[in-house]
Amino acid sequence: MRIAVVGVGAIGGALAAMLETAGGHELILCTRRPLQQLTVNSPDAVIRVQARNATQPEQAGPVDWIIVATKTYDAEGAARWFPALGATGAPVAVVQNGVEHRERFSRHISAGRLLPVIIECPVERTADGNVRVRGAATMQIEDSALGCAFAALFTGSPVAIRLTPDMTTAAWSKLCINSTGALCALAQKPTSVLWGDAMSRVALAIVEECAAVGRAEGARLDDAIGQRVLDHYRRLPPDSVNSLLADRRAGRRMETDARNGVIVRKGEKHGIPTPLNRMIVALLDAV
């Protein structure tokens, strides 16, 4: 397949490496700035991605698949690639944080061509063109013809793929994890900051707010979701850095709205109070 990856940061770089490992694809890396090379270091191998780099839509022709891995706030920037890349009707896989994958692009691409993808991958961008994957990657994709076709692109790569009939629950479960990652960004400390008793209690309360809103949105989240989130963080390397913290350290714009703001916004819609997430949004916006 001819596949374009729009946005080659940590996740975009990891996805490109997975497709390189799968083999047989022609890859186009769509970036703002020229990318001389893409090297992905994983626990098992160093992968040098063989791909063409395009910095303007007119440099890229039609493809079979478009994978969007930009920051959530850059939906408009990603969408400007769609007319050239999707000239022959290529579907768009949206691999981003949050629970609004379809909403971000619904006015640019028809619903039948949009595929939300939930990814969990401990990955960090160490520099432009260099990405470090620190553990196993998993993706959750809707169990549909489009989802099966997307999963097939990664045949032969190490990523674990789960086809699910319930993307709402998958997205909100991931959001429960991401929402607590804001504590790392506020403290400016890696994952181990969540391991202490005091911070764990705060993390659990943040998850409780997120889960309550998620249930109102139709997600099936049981009362043990908070403990599963804590267990998730305790399995990670103590010095691992989530993207929110990485962006704050680098002075970049943070995905606060997609990770915590959406909980506040949808909580208001359902009349569910979310004071901790509201405070997180205010503090991260302030810094």
Residues 13 and 121 in one domain: yes
Does 128 have pLDDT greater than 90?
no
Choice among 174, 189, 266, 269 that is catalytic = 174
Instruction: Report, as an integer, the average pLDDT of 39-67.
Output: 96
Q: Please list, in sequence order, all residues whose beta carbon lies within 8 angstroms of the beta carbon of residue 249, skipping any fewer than 6 positions away.
A: 188, 241
How many angstroms from the chain centroid is the CA of residue 213?
A: 20
Out of 99, 134, 164, a domain closes at 164
Residues 84 and 121 in one domain: yes
Out of 164, 184, 210, a domain closes at 164
Residues 212 and 159 in one domain: no
Query: Domain total for the chain?
Result: 2
Q: Is the dihedral of CA 255, 181, 203, 139 positive or negative?
A: positive
Instruction: Report, as an integer, the average pLDDT of 150-179.
Output: 97
For the chain, what percentages of helix, strand and coil (3-state, to nearest 5) are there? 45, 20, 35
Respond yes or no: is residue 266 known to be catalytic.
no
pLDDT single digits (tens) 270-287: 999 999 999 999 999 999
pLDDT score at 87: 96
The pTM of the full predicted model, rounded to 2 decimals, is 0.95
Residues 186 and 106 in one domain: no
Out of 145, 164, 183, a domain closes at 164
Domain limits at 64? 2-164
